[in-house]
Structure 1
Amino acid sequence: MPGDTDETGPPQTGDKVISAKVALNWAWPGPGRAFKAVHQNPVPIAPPPAAPLPTLYAIGAGQHPAENPPYDQLSFRFQGGFPSYELEFVPELLADGSGLPVPLPGAGAVLQVVFRGAQAHTADGTSSTVTAAPPPAIGYQALAGYAPAGDFEGVLSYGIGVGRSMPDVPETKVRVYEVEKIDRGQHLYVVAIQLDSTQWK
């Protein structure tokens, strides 16, 4: 199962995959060709003190050179349920609210990921709910890095920096896996975004 394989800690007894499916098979979600996945969750998704929306718990990154095709992966792990989301390559990443550019050093292209009906902050808004994440400058061949762009009123945005600038490779294909799993005692809903790294090999 080539889905969520970027671990954030050692496996434990009781870890298991509940379900896994391809939500987007290899395609190029270019401008005007956004990929969208809709998940209907009740609001609130759980009674207090639990968060009312699917909450980002961890981010994982990994390289998978032996797969066919080879790919780099960034996985977003939520608690509570799968949020809706959309992916689209954009000219630049802009911060929600301010509209100011968000830098993604080393990126030749920017894949914007917008989660709807999701959050990455505690109920009082004072701290992040993300317990583990790779450094922003990841430095893989296809996956250069990532950056947050917003977390407000149920809209959670990130930008993924895709590789170096390659005029002869204008379209990097993307695949998305959705994985529900028990991982180190946590019930997680994972959106694993995979970038085809064939052209960098």
Structure 2
Amino acid sequence: MAIHRTESHHTDPQRRRHALRFTAGTIVAAAVLYSLVGCTPSPNASTPTATPTPGSSSTPTATTPSTEPPDDQTAAPLDGDKVIAVRLTQNWAAIGAGAPVTITHDNAIPIAPPPAAPLPSLYTIGAGRHPAMSPPYNQLSFRFQGGFPSYDLQTLSELVGDPSGLPIAMTGTAGILRVTFYSAQAHTEAGPTSIVSAPPLALGFPAITRYSPAGDFEGYVTYGIGIGRPDTATSTTPIRVYEVEKIEQGQHLYVVAIQVDATDWRLAAKTDNSAPKAGGILSQIVL
């Protein structure tokens, strides 16, 4: 896993060509090859490395599963559920406009033979407030099957749909953190969405006001995360990101948990406890 800052946009032609390598023709060819040689790829073909490039403001670290805070989820764990690995990929730091943070995973494509999805597939989305943590934070977590996708994060003033190019309204927010997962998908091979559970788009949390899908196109899955309230600055709001590999409810999941420091937002937010829970898939780091 490599972490670096880059000026590139997720629609940059070079990166778009990178994603297009994994379109249908490539996938079919790979499937034929597997049938000829009888090979089966590893369940987790991602081979991350913890070597940040120069200029990175964060250093990835690994922690043991025992350091993971308790879960918030309401479903009782099943026999065999466990945390396999926890990695910090972005420590608390502001992500400025024009200086995105990129985390790269080198996955063998396809990551599994048919009928499984050829790319990491978005399975569920979770959300949580976590006001008692130090610092207090709100969290949005993206749970994938198959492996960790690569992704980047960047603050924006406007969220734009991919590929339409049309603006997407993010009402009631002060700023937008865009997360783009690449070499990923949020649909099944038959076409419908692969997401089986997600919280309402209008979260109403102090730091994460709302979120919105912004694209699932040519190997790119994009979401906008609305930060804070209008008429307040977001350029110095710290962001932290964890990756957690785990077995949960019998599913092998790869979770990217994005945490937004709520210190500057909790006094400005409504002090009610009526915000929707995320279908029982919340937790302190990943949920």
State TM-score, norm by structure 2: 0.67
Does the alignment pair 1:134 with 2:199?
yes
Deviation at 1:155, TM superposition (A): 0.5
Higher gyration radius (CA): 2
For residue 157 of structure 1, the aligned residue among 186, 205, 222 is: 222
Indicate if the aligned counterparts of 2:103 and 2:150 stay in contact, CA closer than 8 A. yes
The answer for the alignment partner of 2:241 in structure 1 is 176
Give the residue type in structure 2 aligned to 1:73.
Answer: Q
* Structure 2 residues not aligned, in runs of 5+: 1-66, 267-287
Higher strand share: 1
* 2:182 counterpart residue number: 116
Separation in 2 of the partners of 1:47 and 1:73?
33
Separation of aligned partners in 1, 2:203 and 2:186: 20
Q: CA deviation at 1:32?
A: 1.7
SS of 2:158 mapped into structure 1: coil
- Residue-pair matches, total: 200
Q: CA deviation at 1:91?
A: 1.2
Corresponding position of 1:194: 259
Query: Which moved further from structure 2: 77-86 or 23-32?
Result: 23-32
2:89 is matched with which residue?
A: 23
Matched, 1:62 2:124: no
Identify the range of structure 1 (25-34 vs 75-84) with the bigger mean alpha-carbon deviation: 25-34
- Residue 96 of structure 1 corresponds to which residue in structure 2? 162
- 1:38 — aligned with what? 104
**Pair 6,82 (structure 1): closer, same or farther in 2 beyond 3 Å:** farther
1:64-79 aligned within 5 A: 64-79=130-145
C-alpha distance 49-181 of structure 1, shift in aligned 2 (>3 A): same
For residues 128 and 55 of structure 1, do their structure 2 counterparts lie closer, same or farther at Cα, with a shift above 3 Å needed?
A: same
Shift of 1:162: 0.7
> What is the match of residue 80 of structure 2?
14
Distance 1:94 1:179 in 2: 29
* 8 A Cα contact 2:94 2:235, kept in partner: no
Deviates more, 1:87-96 or 1:164-173: 164-173
Change in 2 beyond 3 A, CA 1:4/1:83: farther
Is 73-82 or 166-175 further displaced after alignment?
166-175
Task: Say if 1:8 and 1:60, in contact at 8 Å, map to a contact too.
Answer: no
Could you say which structure has the higher helix fraction?
Answer: 2
Q: Which structure has the higher relative contact order (CA within 8 Å, separation 6+)?
A: 1
Residues 16-54 of structure 1: per-residue CA shift (max 9 Å, x gap)? 100001100001111122110000111100000000000
Distance 1:40 1:94 in 2: 27
Post-superposition offset of 1:6: 5.6
Please state how far the C-alpha of 1:104 moved relative to its aligned partner: 1.5
Gaps of 5+ in 1: none
How big is each residue's C-alpha offset from its partner over 1:59-79, in whole Å with a ceiling of 9 and x where there is no partner? Answer: 000011111111000000000
Q: Which one-letter code corresponds to 1:163 in the other structure? A: G
Q: How many Å separate the matches in 2 of 1:128 and 1:29?
A: 30
- Post-superposition offset of 1:11: 2.5
